């Protein structure tokens, strides 16, 4: 009945079953288990074959999922909704019998979740429905790390960086930007994390930022560009001075006086 959760359920059940009522687990114990191992509950006495239909769960943002169901229950009953990530119970809520949906919020972006539905009467909960599955949308990445910028020529700049600590999705590419004057360069090579800003004036100091951008999901939802990195500063070369120095070096090498 409990699929891949069976072994874990048995471990939890062995610590919760009461001698006087071995077939039930109370809603109090459900709440207690949010701080420990997850559990699933046993059948309601007298209704041992009642299992709710599988609910529907859909993502509505990078941090929220909505679960919906069409089960009708008695006025003295409650719904129990449970949310899992990587087979660990992370949320459990008791809801009024009039409710037909619940929104899980403050979730991780780009993450697969599962959820089920059970019915509780007199603080005793029945067997859960089949699991519903949904993934939150891709979010935006955190800021790239380790940004460095150095002159490549008197009017171009090489910018390098490391990936963000929290991608929150699938990274599509990076954009490096100078603030004044505004220039930018792009890279969609996720291994070769560098690009070159061109057409900069010589002999100026520029502020440089890098942002990472994520792809949306297959339905075009979520993704986008994240927070800018910490600013790094680069000092451009003096074009005239280095042109003159280059000429002097060439003259010396060729033996021309």
pLDDT in tens, 186-214: 999 999 999 999 999 999 999 999 999 99
Cβ atoms within 10 Å of 82's Cβ, excluding its own: 26
163/197 Cα distance (integer angstroms): 19
Query: Does residue 16 carry a pLDDT above 70?
Result: no
Specify the pLDDT at position 122.
85
For residue 253, pLDDT over 70 is answered with no
Distance CA 105, CA 103 (A): 6
The dotted CATH code for 3-135 is: 2.60.40.10
**What are 79-115's pLDDT values in tens digits?**
999 999 998 999 999 999 999 999 999 999 999 999 9
Map out the domains of the chain as residue ranges: 3-135, 145-238
CATH ID of 145-238, from 2.130.10.10, 3.40.50.1220, 2.40.37.10, 2.60.40.10: 2.60.40.10
**pTM for this entry:** 0.71
Q: What is the pLDDT of residues 210-219, one digit of tens each?
A: 999 999 999 9
Q: How far apart are CA 54 and CA 86, in angstroms?
A: 19
Judge whether residue 11 has pLDDT over 60.
no
Given a contact cutoff of 8 angstroms between Cβ atoms, the answer to whether 116 and 82 are in contact is: yes
What is the predicted pLDDT for the residue at 41? 43
């Amino acid at each position: 009945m409990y699929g891949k959760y069976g072994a874990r359920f048995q471990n939890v059940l062995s610590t919760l079953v009461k001698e006087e009522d071995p077939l039930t687990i109370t809603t109090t114990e459900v709440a207690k288990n949010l701080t420990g191992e997850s559990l699933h509950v046993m059948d309601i006495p007298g209704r041992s074959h009642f299992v709710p239909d599988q609910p529907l769960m859909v993502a509505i943002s990078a941090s929220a999922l909505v679960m919906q169901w069409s089960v009708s229950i008695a006025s003295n009953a409650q719904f129990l909704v449970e949310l899992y990530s990587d087979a660990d119970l992370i949320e459990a809520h008791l809801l009024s019998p009039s409710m037909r949906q619940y929104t899980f919020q403050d979730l991780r972006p780009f993450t697969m979740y599962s959820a089920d539905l059970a019915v509780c009467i007199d603080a005793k909960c029945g067997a859960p429905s089949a699991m519903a599955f949904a993934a939150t949308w891709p979010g935006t990445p955190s800021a790239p790390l380790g940004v460095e910028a150095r002159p490549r020529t008197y009017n171009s700049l090489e910018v390098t960086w490391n990936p963000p600590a929290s991608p929150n999705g699938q990274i599509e590419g990076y954009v490096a930007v100078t603030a004044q004057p505004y220039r930018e360069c792009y890279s969609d090579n996720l291994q070769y994390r560098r690009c070159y800003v061109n057409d900069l004036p010589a002999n100026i100091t520029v502020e440089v930022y890098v942002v990472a951008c994520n792809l949306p999901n297959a339905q075009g939802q979520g993704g986008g560009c994240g927070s800018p990195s910490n600013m790094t500063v680069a000092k451009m070369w003096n074009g005239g001075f280095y042109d003159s120095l280059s000429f002097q070096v060439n003259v010396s090498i060729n033996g021309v006086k």
